[in-house]
Structure 1
């Protein structure tokens, strides 16, 4: 089956646009809606599990943009407006979402894997249909221009303040020159004791 799908992908990507569109339309009508959808909507757990596994493999392998677009619309529907309680949901989308919390753990895991593969596909409608359309009306993003907030002077680090004071030439005003620095007397400036005694004896 996956080899057949790979052949169709290569055919769609290399064919004339009119031929590629006819192929994708036939795949959607004959396979997606004619075979896959009835199996996904059945009550039999084994049938649902097998169909979900096949669908997950298809989503993972699909690379042709035209086939991927048809599959995404088949699974999620074309709706892009925010969902409201009175809306009629896309039947397959609602069924697949409900099965993420199914009584059968295997069906729940298979459904979660399907949505994981869907969200990894490079198709804008997936994220918009599942998440973004329900967030657009909320004020998570402020679109209009706004004035910058008034801020006070930036706080400085106490250690940096200390360094600035030490480097400030006016920091030592009012203190004697010898404050903070002790100079060792040089031998030439201070006479030794022996010199003083010899002067007294000679006098």
Structure 2
């Protein structure tokens, strides 16, 4: 508890100090505490020492709020690299060690390491997500590009021959007028008998 009280005081001091003084304190913390104390403990092989150092680091990540301290701590743990990883790269040793311990033979170490990364991902710092995931996803084709839409065409042009078609020649034009006739003369049949002629005259 005394350690976290000291860490809280240091965090408040960095947030309220002048920029020059805050940078000087941050550099001293990184050199004396991060690299001088935390790193040797995190790289040890003893399970008890690893559990103690991981729990201490998890509490440190959870408590630090000063932007400059948080930035130096994240770079200390994950390294500054942002390019996609490849098999021939030389990875950041501490980052690789912490990731490998998430699948450790000891369940306690695995859970402690997962809690550490959970706290890291909660921090409002872009480099955490980029270092752990985004750097290896940017060059992959996960975006589906829709095919280009066909060009819009206007209404079909009318055939000039169809435009010049006379209404009299259109068989559908006279359908609505059953009794109408255009240019068609109805011939009356001429009979040979007188009765038929008289009927025609009477009409």
TM normalised by structure 2 equals: 0.70
Deviations 1:85-120 (A, max 9, x none): 000010000000000011111000000000011011
Q: Using the alignment, how far apart are the partners of 2:147 and 2:7 within structure 1?
A: 52
Question: In the TM superposition, what are the counterparts of 1:158-173 in structure 2 within 5 Å?
Answer: none
How many angstroms does 1:145 deviate by? Answer: 9.1
Q: 1:63 to 1:148 in 2, by over 3 A?
A: farther
CA spacing shift, 1:17–1:82, aligned 2, 3 Å = same
Query: Which structure 2 segments of 5+ residues have no match?
Result: 152-203
Q: How many residues align?
A: 149
Q: CA RMSD in A?
A: 1.7
TM-score of the pair, normalised by structure 1:
0.70
Task: Give distance in 2, aligned partners of 1:122 and 1:104.
Answer: 30
* CA shift in 2, pair 1:149/1:48, >3 Å: farther
Distance 1:26 1:148, change over 3 A: farther
**For 1:80 and 1:149, how far apart are their aligned partners in 2?**
40
Matches within 5 A, 1:191-202: none
Match of 2:27 among 9, 25, 49: 25
Partner of 1:15: 17
Matched, 1:86 2:77: no
| Larger Rg over CA atoms | 2
Matches for 1:85-164 after TM superposition, within 5 Å:
85-141=87-143, 147-148=148-149
| 1:59 is the counterpart of 2:44 | no
